[in-house]
Every structure is written in structure tokens, then in C-alpha cells.
Structure 1
């Protein structure tokens, strides 16, 4: 039974990566998807990452409304929450390259 679950997990990962590859065929600049595939990141891990980015985006908007101009503490919180499969430099550059959460990652790029 354990081998079946492991095999099913691998099949699910391959199916997810195949869907991303198909998207990349028509738009080769999808750098975040490339990073996901190269690092063997699952769909659930990507969904968790998107949730983290949504949370960080809302916090940054609140901080900007309060007059913040430096976001190093928010970046530190992001680093702490980022799963180990994600390299922060690669994440920032690939998200900017793909146009994901641009305002957030433009600020985070300043913190690298």
C-alpha cells in the first residue's frame, strides 16, 4: 500500500509538471514554472507558495498605507515562511520574470 501511495504521488507530480510544460510551450518566459519543474515542486507546495504571496501582498499594502517605505522585516518574514525547496533568489527573479506579484517581488528584490 505504501508503494502505491508513493507511486501515485510521483504520477501526480509528473501530471502537474506536464500541465506546466504545456503552458510553457506557448509562452516560454514562464520562469516560475520552469523553477517549479526543475526543483520538483508539487502543486500543493505551489498553492501554499501562492497563499504566502497573497498574505505578504496584503501585509505590504497595509504597511504602505501606514507609510512604510522599507520592507526588510516583511522580507525576513517571507524568508522564514518560504519552504526549503524554494531558493529565495531564484523565486524573486523567476516571479519577476513571469510577472507574478510584481510589486511584492520588486520590493523583495531590493532586499537581496
Structure 2
């Protein structure tokens, strides 16, 4: 049976190796994934981010259809709902590179 100290050491080692692997990824390859790993976000926290992006993407499309082109409220909402460990400019740029919610991210980029 493994004791708690050994288990904690193994977890710390895995976390360290995970950070090293994230640094091995090419800079231009997967910047969004790198941010998630570097900031230690959980799968649930990433799912919440995607939920927010889904909702804001639909809101953006509705606003475009209504001729609404003022981006600040949408950007503020995104910024307010973004995980505290993430920086808005980093996440927007990384999503653009990885083609994650491209229409939404390009719109948000205009407010950076």
C-alpha cells in the first residue's frame, strides 16, 4: 500500500513533468493548450471557458444580425467571466492561432 507522502511526491513529479512537456510544445503549435497547462486549469474550468465562448459566439451572431457593432460590452463580459489565472490578451491570441472560436476571438481582439 502506498502512503500519503509517497503519493504526494508522485503527484508533484507528474505536475513537474507536465510543465516540462508543455514547454516542449512548439511556440506556434498549441498556445491555448500551453496556457491551460501552465496555469493548471482543470478540465471543468476549460469546459466552463468553452461554454462561455459558445454563449458569447451566439450573442455576437445575434448582435451582428441586429446591426450592433459596438464590441466593448461583449469584451467586458468575456473578460469578467475569464478564469482569474488567464490573461485576456494571451487567451485571445492563443485561440486565434489554434482556430478556437475564430469569429468571436477576432471580434474580441479588436478591443485589446
How far did 1:70 drift? 2.2
Name the CA distance, whole Å, in 2 between partners of 1:36 and 1:94. Answer: 11
Name the CA distance, whole Å, in 2 between partners of 1:94 and 1:65. Answer: 27
How far did 1:93 drift? 0.6
The residue correspondences of 1:29-108 to structure 2 (distance < 5 A) are 29-108=29-108
Please tell me the root mean square deviation across aligned C-alpha atoms, in Å: 2.7
Per-residue Cα deviation, 1:41-81 (whole angstroms, up to 9, x for no partner): 11111000000000000000010010012211111111111
**Regions of 4+ moved over 3 Å:** none
Q: What are the ranges of 5 or more consecutive residues in structure 1 without an aligned counterpart?
A: none
Structure-2-length-normalised TM-score: 0.75
Higher helix share: 1
Q: What are the ranges of 5 or more consecutive residues in structure 2 without an aligned counterpart?
A: none
Structure-1-length-normalised TM-score: 0.75
Larger radius of gyration, structure 1 or 2? 2
Q: How many pairs are equivalent?
A: 98
